[in-house]
Amino acid sequence: MGNLFHIVMKVFSALLGVAAILAGGVWILQGTGLAFQVGFMAGDPLWAVYGAILVLLALGQIYWSLTRRR
């Protein structure tokens, strides 16, 4: 039972990282004014920076999730 739990949590953690990458990508696109021109983030370059930071953290999350032993 313990191994199954760790496998499920590893997959869940990796999928959470993928979702964070997608959210960071939206923030980058909206902050740079390339897409989604509605809302308070549209055209604000600070949100592009926040998105890039989120993408980097999410890549670290995915790497950590898939390479840890247990």
Domain ranges of the chain: 2-67
Distance CA(1)–CA(43), nearest Å, equals 49
Number of alpha helices (DSSP H) and beta strands (DSSP E) in the chain: 2, 0
The answer on pLDDT for 3 being more than 80 is yes
CB 58 within 8 A of CB 21: yes
Mean pLDDT value across residues 7-34 = 94
What tens digit of pLDDT does each residue of 34-62 get? 988 888 888 889 999 999 999 999 999 99
Mean pLDDT value across residues 23-43 = 91
Q: Would you give the end-to-end CA distance of the chain in angstroms?
A: 13
Q: Tell me the whole-structure pTM to 2 decimals.
A: 0.87
Distance CA(62)–CA(22), nearest Å, equals 13
The answer on pLDDT for 70 being more than 80 is no
Banded model confidence at residue 69, pLDDT cuts 50, 70, 90: confident
